[in-house]
Copies of this chain bind each other. A is one copy, B any other.
């Protein structure tokens, strides 16, 4: 099978009257959503958007964002989803790297257009364009690229992860074969749609015919109130969100109809899992990434007690193995997590070399470290050593180091994650100053601020005499913590 019917179109035909999406104020059925999406596709057509073009989208979660994504897919365009927390410099880097043809931004970022050579239009301007009839994609080819999301790697250069329609399709199918599907299912989306954890909810919605209740921004009380109302049955969270919700919940207990708290975005602290167990919150721990179009491995709650801390087993169409020095590791032996499945990316945009390094023989080398127990349950020991996960956002030390090294006074720079009670981890930097130069921590921070999203800013920048390096002068990031002043 290489094609499916256009997902939203098929839903509007099969289950026109089911609620597709709601934000608590407005709600739309699949038929209404489809109708609005056709309108938006016709507006995009009068802008000049054509099949196969990359269109970057900089938006916050709201129903209109859902509509623009589907409208671009109706035209066969490739949607580049951008993190709204990035600086305009970081955003433009993605536009240039991807050779995006258009940039559609929420009104609040209208002025960003001046910072790029890519034709920019605000959602508001676009809405005012006339509609122009066009031919819509009646089918989605599973091998076609649906979306692109940038992630960074060891080199510090962000790479565009290619996500095909097939990746999203199979991710949704793998998930339904694990989590099941009920007529009354409704997924609470409080994670951003520009992350795969959020986008995958939208994909599941049109594939399953399932409602999405979306929040513009996450707020623990608001999320708890919605769950307590009994109107949602599942929710995707990262540890920092779940911790706030558990704290806010107090003595209350979620209704029985709430059946899945899907917890991703990095290893979960055990005390949090234990608190959830005590409150009978049905937590499904999961391990996945942009490259796997969300969930790859998920722990069912029937194992939440006996396998506390495990991310579970692969989804049905997927496979997993632990590799150690070129061989498959034995049970309990830690090694690199290697995964395979139809939800795994084809590779990185314009990066054949990086793609070849990451994907070998159909297996994706995640760089993450973990082991499986004798029953095959995965335990993630550490996301790859150079990755900092802060409140569910991935931060790559090399990217921050590159910024610091660009400062005229800095000779060497090293960044690592340190523990943080609120965010799990935050970045912390160490720099060696050039002989004869002088610079303060404050000056360096101000310099970083011009180029890095806030969440990537080092919590501290320590000026040190030397950085830990191997004999071949390679930076050893995991030893940076030793340079921290003793408390």
Q: Which residues of A contact B (CB under 8 A)?
A: 1, 4-5, 10, 13-14, 142, 166, 170, 173, 176-177, 180-183, 207-209, 313-314, 316-317, 319, 342, 376
Contact = CB atoms under 8 A, between A and B. Distances in A.
Given A5-B319, A170-B1, A313 B177 contact: no
Contacts of A142: 1
Give the top 8 A-B pairs by smallest Cβ distance, nearest first. Answer: A1-B342, A180-B181, A14-B313, A4-B317, A181-B181, A180-B182, A173-B173, A13-B376
A236 B127 CA distance: 49
Contacts of A181: 176-177, 180-181
B183 A5 contact: no
Given A176-B176, A183-B180, A319-B5, A313 B208 contact: no
Contacts of A5: 316-317, 319
Given A14-B313, A181-B181, 4 more contacts: A1-B317, A13-B313, A177-B181, A177-B207
A21 to B, nearest CB: 18
A319 B3 CA distance: 11
B316 A10 contact: yes
A158 to B, nearest CB: 28
A469 to B, nearest CB: 43
Nearest to A376: B13
B10 A208 contact: no
A358 to B, nearest CB: 19
A76 to B, nearest CB: 19
Contacts of A319: 5
Contacts of A14: 313-314, 316
Q: Which among A10, A177, A313 has the highest number of chain B CB atoms within 10 Å? A: A177
B317 A208 contact: no
A97 B207 CA distance: 41
6 contacts: A1-B142, A14-B313, A176-B181, A177-B181, A180-B180, A181-B181
A300 to B, nearest CB: 8
A43 B342 CA distance: 34
